[in-house]
Amino acid sequence: MENIKVIFWGLGAMGGGMAKDILLNKKGIEIVGAIGQNPAKIGKDLGEVLGIGRQIGVIVSNKPREVLNHTAADIVLHATQSFTKDVFPEISLIVESGKNVITIAEEMSAPWAETPDLAEHMDNLAKKHQVTILGTGVNPGFVLDTLILTLTGACQAVNKIWAARINDLSPFGPTVMKTQGVGTTVEEFNKGLSDGTIVGHIGFRQSAYLIAKSLGWELDHIAETREPIMTTVYRETPHVKVQPGMVAGCRHIARGYKDGVEIITLEHPQQIHPELEGVKTGDYISIEGTPSIKFSDEQEIPGGIGTMAAAVNMIPRVINARAGLLTMPDLPVITALMGDVRQLIADGKKRCLTI
Amino acid sequence: MENIKVIFWGLGAMGGGMAKDILLNKKGIEIVGAIGQNPAKIGKDLGEVLGIGRQIGVIVSNKPREVLNHTAADIVLHATQSFTKDVFPEISLIVESGKNVITIAEEMSAPWAETPDLAEHMDNLAKKHQVTILGTGVNPGFVLDTLILTLTGACQAVNKIWAARINDLSPFGPTVMKTQGVGTTVEEFNKGLSDGTIVGHIGFRQSAYLIAKSLGWELDHIAETREPIMTTVYRETPHVKVQPGMVAGCRHIARGYKDGVEIITLEHPQQIHPELEGVKTGDYISIEGTPSIKFSDEQEIPGGIGTMAAAVNMIPRVINARAGLLTMPDLPVITALMGDVRQLIADGKKRCLTI
């Protein structure tokens, strides 16, 4: 049986990491194309760019249309930007080339939440070209939606969902420090919120949409709040120094209301060195219902690895899936891929390989 | 849109409980048939039998063939026995009547594990009649397989899986006390194991099969051990008194080996009043991999409610599914059903309603 053929679009930390994982660890998948934009990578062999110590015969190109239209592949792994409106032209190009696509653009985990018109358009386009589009990642896509929904599977009734993903931003670079407002004063933080330079978490509306839609809840509205996490102690990373009284991170909360009642609460406070003020990181899920269920882990599922894993692990599910713009709850249970992935491609299911 | 029509086969604690949940709490589903064997229920209206305070116009029958062949329905919820060989004739009858089926027979969660020939036969029969067969429940079907697999979805690699479901048997009746060996001496316990009157948990091989198959692991073999849980303190329930030095329950463990290495460990120690010796109940899942993930709840997901919920919650998934004998990982993410279930039936998907 032929290998599953993948094209990568986006070779940053996420795209590059996924490509490396496939080259080094996955059986039955091969990379047949690579699209990047970093001049330092264009024209080089992908194996060299990824530093895996060997060439793989795939040259990194900055010409998406050329690669997509002249390379036979089953699926494209897309990792460029976060917002649907920004990736929409790229997704369309992939679909029009007759290939399935998995993107880690946060808003694409449920495009109906923010851009129903674009979602509708992509769904029709995917059906027309008989391919599947999926947006996924660790969050949105897994922890605060798919995992919560799976746990409700053991419930006869669900009255309220509260979940929190408490993580440590210390390992991240200067960009994340800026977008989360780490190291700012309250005034700078609030200014950043208003001018859009401080964004907090991207994906809350998508997670709430997936939860409500899947359970069959009609939400009145979703409200988001972003508050500065003030520190009372000195916190420091290689990229930022935070004095007591300054902002160590952003407490971002989303609340979904049904018939005026807060029925979904998703919290994602992100800061550096939470342990310095006794805050334990982790993923916490509390479902109030019949029965009530409280699950938590000892340490949050790491965002970077989790996102790369979720996207790669969905490859066989998406290749097998019906055509259209789908979401994680539409597809079979996500699992790690430890065997030959070709074994998971159902006989007679659509493969693309369109040139 | 027409209501989803369900026939119940088996009206014991589980079947009756599911029927009650549907009648009292679910939208868009109606019960159109009921098959039982308890003489006290035969010929009575199901509403009366369930004590919901009203009649529903469905008379409990002890003639399966008659009900199945003369009642139009989308699906049959089956809750009679635990072993595939015992329910096989009943499942076949349902399938031959052209109806989908969800059964809580533990071995049916993955019939290939113990009876590959029967599994093959049922798969062919289901395809021939264009219906879907699914076995599910809280465990096997959810906690020690589907939930574990879902968590591996955030992993690039999984090296080993350890999970434990530690529960309290105190609420259960005399039958469970007997099959778990509660209140016996070590000698009686071992005798019970050898003559098959003490069985421990049913479903380990099925859970291990689902985990290995989904991840792509080829197991050499699965080994099961059943040990008496001796108590050093007096333990008592309305149905049994256990003196220090006697057996308070059964520590049942399954181990899956790959290339000679124990790669899956599933523990399910079941006893009365574990708290008397400081044992905390709960579901514990530990995945050793990239990344490693440890999830646990504060109290185990209750077996009875969880099983009833899992079976009912899968109704729309099974109606939408392709024909054949499927397993939980083959189907979309299980979630609670809080809205009109008809909204979840994909347009153009197969419904049966065959008479």
What pLDDT band is residue A1 in, cutting at 50, 70 and 90?
Answer: confident
In a domain, B353, yes or no: no
A144–chain B Cβ distance below 8 A for any pair: no
Structural Rg of chain A based on CA atoms: 21
A146: which chain B residues are within 8 Å (Cβ-Cβ)? Answer: 150, 153, 333
- Give the residue carrying structure tokens 């005399």: B174
User: Which residues of chain B lie closer than 8 angstroms to A341, CB-CB?
Assistant: 216
pLDDT at residue B273 in the model = 96
Considering the domain architecture, whether residues A158 and A281 belong to the same structural domain is answered as yes
Test A290 with B298 for CB contact under 8 angstroms. Answer: no
Q: Does the pLDDT at position A100 exceed 60?
A: yes
pLDDT (mean) for A7-14: 96
How confident is the model at residue A152, as a pLDDT?
98
- Cβ atoms < 10 Å from Cβ of A8: 25
For residue B350, the model assigns a pLDDT of 59
Averaged pLDDT, A138-154: 98
Write down the pLDDT at residue B348: 52
Closest-CA distance, B347 to chain A, in angstroms, reads 13
* Residue B123 domain-assigned (yes or no): yes
Q: How confident is the model at residue B172 (pLDDT cuts 50, 70, 90)?
A: confident
A229's CB contacts (< 8 A; 6+ apart) are A247, A248, A249, A250, A251, A269, A271
Instruction: Give the angle B144-B149-B154 at the CA atoms, nearest 5°.
Output: 135
pLDDT digits (tens, 9 = 90+) for B223-281: 999 999 999 999 999 999 999 999 999 999 999 999 999 999 999 999 999 999 999 99
Residue-wise pLDDT tens digits, B61-87: 999 999 999 999 999 999 999 999 999
Answer yes or no: is A355 within a domain.
no
Least CB–CB distance from A158: residue in B298, B306, B338: B338
Is B150 in CB contact (< 8 Å) with chain A? yes
Same-domain status, B93 and B185? no
Could you tell me if A282 lies within 8 Å of chain B, comparing CB atoms?
no
User: In 10 A of CB B161, how many CB atoms?
Assistant: 26
| H helix runs in B6-160, sequence order | 13-25, 46-50, 64-70, 84-96, 116-128, 146-152
Q: How confident is the model at residue B175 (pLDDT cuts 50, 70, 90)?
A: confident
| Helices and strands, counts by H and E, chain B | 11, 15
pLDDT of residue B284: 97
Beta carbons of A335 and B149 less than 8 Å apart: yes
Interchain pair A150, B150: CB under 8 A: yes
| Closest among A135, A38, A132 to A84, alpha carbons compared | A135
Among A299, A315, A338, A344, the strongest candidate for a mutation testing the B interface, having the largest count of B CBs within 10 A, is A338
Pairing assessment for the beta strands A132-135 and A100-103 based on DSSP bridges:
parallel
Q: How far apart are CA B10 and CA B12, in angstroms?
A: 6
Would you call A177 an interface residue with chain B, using a CB distance cutoff of 8 Å?
no
Answer yes or no: do B167 and B68 share one domain: no
Select from B138, B293, B298 the Cβ nearest to the Cβ of A294: B298
Out of B150, B290, B309, the one facing A155 most closely (by C-beta) is B309
Strands (E), B169-239: 221-230, 235-237
Give yes or no: residues A68 and A202 share one domain. Answer: no
**Cα R_g (chain B), whole angstroms:** 21
Contact between residue A109 and residue A135 where contact means Cβ atoms under 8 Å apart: yes
* Number of structural domains found in chain A: 2
Cα–Cα distances (Å) from A129 to A228, A314, B64, B73, in that order, read 46, 20, 46, 35
Strand stretches in chain B, DSSP E: 4-9, 29-35, 60-61, 75-78, 100-103, 132-135, 157-168, 221-230, 235-237, 240-242, 247-258, 261-271, 282-290, 293-297, 324-326
**Chain A contact for B86, CB < 8 A?**
no
Chain B residues in contact with A315 by the CB 8 A cut-off are none
Tokens, residue A158: 């669900």
Interface contact flag, A338 B308, Cβ < 8 Å: no
Write out the two tokens for B127: 């395809």
Q: Are residues A157 and A295 in the same domain?
A: yes
Q: Is residue A243 part of a domain?
A: yes
B158 at A interface, C-beta within 8 A:
yes
| Per-residue model confidence as pLDDT tens digits over B179-201 | 999 999 999 999 999 999 999 99
Confidence of residue B206 (pLDDT cuts 50, 70, 90): very high
Do both B105 and B160 map to the same domain? no
Question: Mean pLDDT of all residues in chain A?
Answer: 95
Q: What is the pLDDT of residue B298?
A: 80
Judge whether B332 lies within some domain: yes
Would you call B301 and A291 a contact, using CB atoms and an 8 Å cutoff? yes
**What residues does A78 pair with on adjacent strands?**
A9, A103
- The H-or-E segment that residue A265 falls in is strand A261-271
Above pLDDT 90, what percent of chain A? 94
Q: Is A136 in contact with A110 (CB distance < 8 Å)?
A: no
Tell me, what's the pLDDT at B174?
85
Q: Is a pLDDT exceeding 70 seen at residue A349? A: no
Residue B319 structure tokens: 């109606």
pLDDT at A183 over 70: yes
Q: Which helix (H) or strand (E) holds A325?
A: strand A324-326
Tell whether A277 is within 8 A of chain B (Cβ). Answer: no
Give the pLDDT band of residue B171 (cuts 50, 70, 90): confident
Question: What CATH number did the domain enclosing B195 receive?
Answer: 3.30.360
Do A154 and B339 count as a contact with CB atoms less than 8 A apart? no
Does one domain contain both A167 and A256? yes
Please tell me if residue A152 touches chain B, with a CB cutoff of 8 Å: yes
pLDDT band at A347 (very low <50, low <70, confident <90, very high): low
The verdict on A169 and A117 lying in the same domain is no
pLDDT band at residue B319, thresholds of 50, 70 and 90?
Answer: very high
DSSP label of B339: S
Domain that holds residue A243: 146-301
Cα separation of the two ends of chain B: 19
Of B25, B216, B339, the CB nearest to A215: B339
pLDDT in tens, A274-327: 999 999 999 999 999 999 999 999 889 999 999 999 999 999 999 999 999 999
What is the predicted pLDDT for the residue at A354? Answer: 60
Q: Which two tokens stand for residue A250?
A: 């952003």
- Residue A350 falls inside a structural domain: no
Q: Is B337 on the interface with A (CB under 8 A)?
A: yes
Residues B173 and B294 in one domain: yes
Query: Would an 8 Å CB–CB cutoff place A155 in contact with chain B?
Result: yes
- Domain assignment present for B350: no
Work out the average pLDDT over B113-134.
Answer: 97
Query: Is B330 within 8 Å of chain A by CB?
Result: yes
Q: Does A351 fall in a domain?
A: no
Binned at pLDDT 50, 70 and 90, residue B351 comes out as low
The per-residue pLDDT for range A187-208, each reduced to its tens digit, is 999 999 999 999 999 999 999 9
- Does residue B354 have a pLDDT over 80? no
Show residues of chain B in contact with A155, CB under 8 Å. 309, 313, 336
- In sequence order, the β-bridge partners of residue B170 are none
Q: How many CB atoms lie within 10 A of CB B294?
A: 16
Percent of chain A with pLDDT over 70: 97
Residue in A152, A309, A335 closest to B336 by CB? A152
Whether pLDDT at A351 is above 80: no
Query: Widest CA span of chain A, in angstroms?
Result: 62
Residues B225 and B119 in one domain: no
How far apart CA B312 and CA B142 sit, in angstroms, is 13
Q: What global pTM score does this model have?
A: 0.96
Nearest-angstrom CA–CA distance, A172 and B121:
55
Beta-carbon separation of A156 and B312 below 8 A:
yes
User: Are A147 and B142 an interchain contact pair (Cβ–Cβ within 8 Å)?
Assistant: no
Q: What is the CATH number of the domain that holds B46?
A: 3.40.50.720
Mean pLDDT on B209-236: 97
Return mean pLDDT, chain B: 95
Contact A303, A293 (CB under 8 A): no
In this structure, what DSSP letter does residue A171 have? T
B332-341: pLDDT as tens digits: 999 999 999 9
Q: What is the pLDDT of residue A350?
A: 60
pLDDT given for residue A355 in this prediction: 56
Residues of B numbered 33-52 whose beta carbons fall under 8 angstroms of chain A's beta carbons: which are they?
none
**β strands within A17-148, DSSP E:** 29-35, 60-61, 75-78, 100-103, 132-135
Q: Tell me, yes or no, if A309 comes closer than 8 A to chain B by beta carbon.
A: yes
A291 touches chain B (CB under 8 A): yes
Min mean pLDDT across A173-177, B279-283, B330-334 is at A173-177
Say what the pLDDT of residue B176 is. 86
If asked whether residues A98 and A245 sit together in one domain, one would say no
Please tell me whether residues B67 and B105 are part of one structural domain.
yes
* ipTM for the complex shown: 0.95
From chain B, the residues in CB contact with A21 under 8 A are: 156
β-strands B4-9, B75-78: how paired? parallel
